Amino acid sequence: MPDLLKNADKNSTIHPEKLQQVNNDIQQIINGCKKHLEVDRYFHNAVFFKHHAHQLKLELLPAIIDSPVKPFFLSHIGVELLLDNLLLTNQHVAADDFYAQLNYCSTEVIRNFLFVSGISNPEVFIHFFEGFKQNRYLRTYTQTEQLTYALKRVCMRIWKDPFTPAQETAITQVINNYRQKLQPNFMDIFKEIEFKLTGH
């Protein structure tokens, strides 16, 4: 929810740590947001993430010469997308299951959650969410060239023309090569975060 909300409206901010609800369904969303933010904190401060974001940045630098995109920004998102790809291609996550769970969510509960979170126009998110479920972008993340496309789309929110076609080809090659480096031990970061969350 925190990520989806930012994608729907970059000016929307929620503070789940300040929310407490009697309604159990809304409280479940609040709990999920809190857990998401906690996982994010662990992930972005982990040695694994810092190491691979730095290494990927070094490998991307020759591919994006003269691009306006900040190399660290690109590698930060790149590591996250590569982990998505590896979870999918190694069958740790099924895209169809993910979307089935989203379809199961009650629009009315989401709308009420947004209302108590101080979002003035929940319909902006609801419209985005319906489109997000229909587009099923996660299915494309099994292909490394689609990861480059996803990176480009994120960058286009900040920079009008982030990459030339030649740069996109070079980025895809770097992403593909780095994927092979991550493959053997990529589950380590998930095990580390699970241990921090649960103690085992």
- What's residue 157's pLDDT? 87
Residue 92, domain extent = 2-198
- pLDDT for position 144: 86
**b/e map of 45-76 (b: 16 or more CB within 10 Å)?**
ebebbeebbeebbebbeebbeebebebebbbb
Spatial contact of 199 and 102, defined as CB atoms under 8 Å apart: no
pLDDT for 188 equals 96
Q: Give the chain's domain count.
A: 1
What confidence score (pLDDT) does residue 150 get? Answer: 92
Give yes or no for a contact between 37 and 2, defined as CB atoms under 8 angstroms apart.
yes
Check residue 174 and give its pLDDT: 97
pLDDT at 195: 94
Q: Which residues contact 117 (CB under 8 A, 6 or more apart)?
A: 14, 15, 16, 19
**Low-confidence stretches of the chain (pLDDT beneath 70):** none
Cα angle vertex 67, ends 65, 68, to 5°?
A: 135
> In the chain, what are the helix, strand and coil shares in percent, each to the nearest 5?
75, 0, 25
pLDDT recorded at residue 10: 80
